Amino acid sequence: MLAWVVAAASCVALVGAVLVLGRERRSVTALQDQLERQERAVASVESSTDPTTPEVEPAGGAELADRLRRAVDRLEHGVVIWDVDGSELYRNQAAASLAEARDGHVLVAAAVEELLVEAATGRHVRRVVELFGPPAESFVVAASPIAPGGGGAIAVVEDRSLQRRTETVRRDFVANISHELKTPIGALGLLAETIRDEPDPEIVERLAGRMIVEADRLSRTVDDLLELSRIEFGDDAEFGTVAVLSVVAEADSRISSAAEQADIRVRIEVEADVAVEGDQRQLVSAVFNLLDNAVKYSQAGSEVVVEAVDDRDDGVVRLYVTDHGVGVPRRDLDRIFERFSRVDRARSRETGGTGLGLAIVRHVASNHGGDVQVDSTEGVGSTFTLVLPRASVAAAGRGRFAPGVVAATGAAIEEFGIDEDGFDIVDPDANLLDGMEVER
Amino acid sequence: MALESLRNEFQEQLENLRSDLIRLGAMVSETIGRGTAALLDRDLHAAQVLIDGDDVIDDFCLGLEERCCQLLALQAPIAGDLRFVLTTLRLISELERSADLMVNVCKASRRIYDVEFGPQLRGLIEQMGVEAGFLIRAAIDSYVDADTSLAAALDDIDDRLDELQVNYVQAIFTRHSDEHLGLQGAVQLAMIGRYYERIGDHAVNIGERVMYMVTGWLPEHSGSARHRLRGLGAEDDAGPDPAGGPAGGSANDGGV
């Protein structure tokens, strides 16, 4: 048995060696061909021009230099090399584009020059250049002498923006989750301590009420975390054709009481035949969170508008949720979809949000191969856009439409069922559908 | 041969001047963004860093100015080259002044540390910062590309910033009358709006200087021609002088 294995192994080795030899031989032949060609070329140059033409460089050296240059040009890092006399020997494409820029990147190019001057004196130097932007960017420029004692210098520029961002997200997540969980737990501890020594039943009653509020808050945070992780894994998702109106209606029914309390009207402008490819439950969760967010940050008496646009050309459905609320500062715009990110910490206590809603929306969007975007001006309002893949025409209209509930805020709740033609209102009442466009 | 290399050296100096002015523009536009963020975030440290950083900009400007003067004295440039150096000289001071205005914003932000702006004013400040930064970048673009149409458009683009400032002042009045904003805070905020608006004016000035660089003509030339016509009587047919040298009188300065 062992002998067989050894024999087989040596066979393989032999075949391999032959193959290697063959390849070697081929490459040797190719090299010879090339050398011959070059000799011919040199000969022709010598015969056609006067003998004072500079010597042709050895082929290997020039070719190697050319390959190296092309390789370094491909690098994402910027590379600048200075000669012994301080003149520029080489600059790769990334570094060249830095120097040609007119925005903050020229400041990075300026830092490169400055560091090269220092490196040429024989010192290793490094600097972090933070650009405010927008977008905020972070570069690390490092320069070193090429030979000890300063024989030329090389500078390398590295774009650290993405790493910086990832680091910040991770750090903030840990800090935020600790804060979100600790705050209600701390409050519960304090309240329990007070209750223990409190003889007055009235005060005990009030404190117990506060404890319930804090416990609710804690359980909401944990629920949202669970929901988020479930959506992240996407285990129980059932993808199919889903009518956008049924999703919006279901989400709206969940938000209606909160909206009513805050005196905010939710206007739905979604055509009944707009359908997307997706998981009903996840989509409802996403739209609910968008509505929840819109209602929380709207001014009393204002209106939240939900619109769906069926973009046949791009094959997507765009769902817009627009509010007239406080808006989001520009610098926070790209971070609001992170877990526990908050524009205003003080306000989150008032609104009672868990800080996970928009993270859920983003995960639902990415699970569906879609996207979520936000456009906002502080003091004017925000528009969140959920982009989802539209259902194919054939599939639309006969999908697994769930019965939905429409609640125009301030009006009664009316149930309706949906048949194959779209929406069939069981008890049509024009007032109930005020502001809704239902195509029959 | 020697003359040619001298000429090349001169061209290289002009090119360096151009790239350093781009760098100055980038420094100023960074300052606008950072200053606005420092104001909105109540970041006193960032404000102080910017106030100190203005010395770096001033130093850079002095060095650039010195080089312009040397070029003028030693190379005696003519025609387009002369206008380029003169324009660069003017742009340095316009940009330097814009950076100073952001220092004023930072200093004001220290004085109103405890004032609550409210979302509407915050939004307007942010938009003014964006517009001001955009105007400076567009002005630099027009200079680098010698783009007269962009340079001429800067005045119209600046209207957006002016309009924002008008709304901003209105919003300050509203917030003051709602008793959310004290008189001192209101005055400081109003001045901040004015600083942004002035940055826009400097960008417009840059545009006018760029038009001069390319065409040799300044908007003020029309006015100066009118003035001369009035002074000399109608028989003198003096039109705008396209070969006019560096005209005195600052463009658009001290506007309301």
Condensed to tens digits (0 to 9), the pLDDT of residues B115-160 reads 888 888 988 999 999 999 999 999 999 999 999 999 999 999 999 9
| B26 contacts in chain A (CB < 8 Å) | 102-107
Query: Is the predicted ipTM greater than 0.90, yes or no?
Result: no
- Given an 8 Å threshold on Cβ–Cβ distance, is B37 in contact with A132? yes
Write the DSSP symbol of residue A299: P
Chain B: closest CA distance from residue A408 (Å): 29
Instruction: State the count of interchain CB pairs (< 8 A) between A and B.
Output: 56
- Given an 8 Å threshold on Cβ–Cβ distance, is B126 in contact with A378? yes
Average pLDDT of chain B? 86
Chain B: closest CA distance from residue A168 (Å): 18
| A328 contacts in chain B (CB < 8 Å) | none
Position A234 scores a pLDDT of 66
Position B3 scores a pLDDT of 67
pLDDT in tens, B152-208: 999 999 999 999 999 999 999 988 888 888 898 999 999 999 999 999 999 999 999
**Residue B223 neighbours by CB distance under 10 Å:** 13
Which residues 122-141 in chain A show a CB within 8 A of chain B?
A: 131-134
**Nearest Cα residue in chain A from B30:** A132
- Given an 8 Å threshold on Cβ–Cβ distance, is A107 in contact with B130? no
φ, ψ at B197 (rounded to 5°):
-65, -35
**Nearest Cα residue in chain B from A378:** B123
pLDDT in tens, A242-286: 889 989 998 888 888 888 888 889 999 988 888 888 888 888 888
d(CA B195, CA B168): 12
* Burial label, A29 (beta-carbon count in 10 A; 0-12, 13-18, 19+): exposed
For residue A422, the cross-strand partners are A419
Q: Is the pLDDT of residue A9 over 50?
A: no
* Angle, alpha carbons A277-A282-A286 (nearest 5°): 105
**How large is the average pLDDT for residues A186-209?**
89
Which residues touch A225 (CB under 8 Å, ≥6 apart)? Answer: A356
- Given an 8 Å threshold on Cβ–Cβ distance, is B123 in contact with A134? no
